[in-house]
Amino acid sequence: MAFTIIFLIFLFSTIKAQQSSTSINLSSSLTTTGTNSWLSPSGLYAFGFYRQGGRYAVGVFAAGIPENTVVWTANRDDLPVRGSATLAFSAGRLVLNTTTGQNKSIANVSDLISAASILDSGNFVLYNSARDIIWQSFDDPTDTILPSQRLVAGKQLISGIEEGDPSTGLFRLKMQEDGHLVSYPLQSPDTPSYAYWASGTWGTGNNITLNLDDNGHLYLLNETGGNTIRNLSAAESSNDGKIYRMTLDADGIFRVYSLTMDPKGNWSVMWLSTTDKCGPRGLCGINGYCVQNDNDADCRCLPGFNFINPEDWSLGCKRSSAAVSCNNANGSNVELAMTKLDNMLWDDQSYMEIKLANKDDCEQSCLEDCHCEVALYSDTQGCRKQKIPPRYGVRSVDYPQVAFIKIALIKKEMRLECW
| Model pLDDT for residues 86-141, shown as the tens digit of each residue | 999 999 999 999 988 889 999 999 999 999 999 999 999 999 999 999 999 999 99
Mean pLDDT, rounded, for 16-31:
73
Q: What CA–CA distance (Å, rounded) separates 209 from 197?
A: 17
Q: Cβ neighbours of residue 99 under 8 Å, at least 6 residues apart?
A: 83, 84, 85
Q: Cβ neighbours of residue 83 under 8 Å, at least 6 residues apart?
A: 32, 98, 99
pLDDT for 149 equals 98
Residue 419 has pLDDT above 60, yes or no: no
Other CB atoms closer than 10 Å to residue 160's CB: what's the count?
Answer: 23
| Residue type for position 217 | H
- What 8-state DSSP symbol labels residue 137? G
pLDDT for 327 equals 62
Nearest alpha carbon to residue 246 among 52, 69, 17? 69
Other CB atoms closer than 10 Å to residue 33's CB: what's the count?
Answer: 11
Report pLDDT digits (tens) over 340-391: 999 999 988 899 999 998 999 999 999 999 999 999 999 999 999 999 999 9
Query: Which of helix, strand or coil describes residue 266?
Result: coil
Q: What CA–CA distance (Å, rounded) separates 284 from 302?
A: 11
Provide φ and ψ at 17, rounded to 5°.
-65, -30
Q: What CA–CA distance (Å, rounded) separates 413 from 56?
A: 55
Which letter, b or e, does each residue of 177-207 get, where b requires 16 or more Cβ atoms within 10 Å of its Cβ? eebbbbbbbeebeeeeebbbbebebeebeee
**Distances in whole angstroms, Cα of residue 417 to Cα of each of 321, 323, 414:** 7, 10, 9
Residues 229, 232, 236, 241: is their CA dihedral positive or negative? negative
Range of lowest pLDDT (51-55, 57-61, 407-411) = 407-411
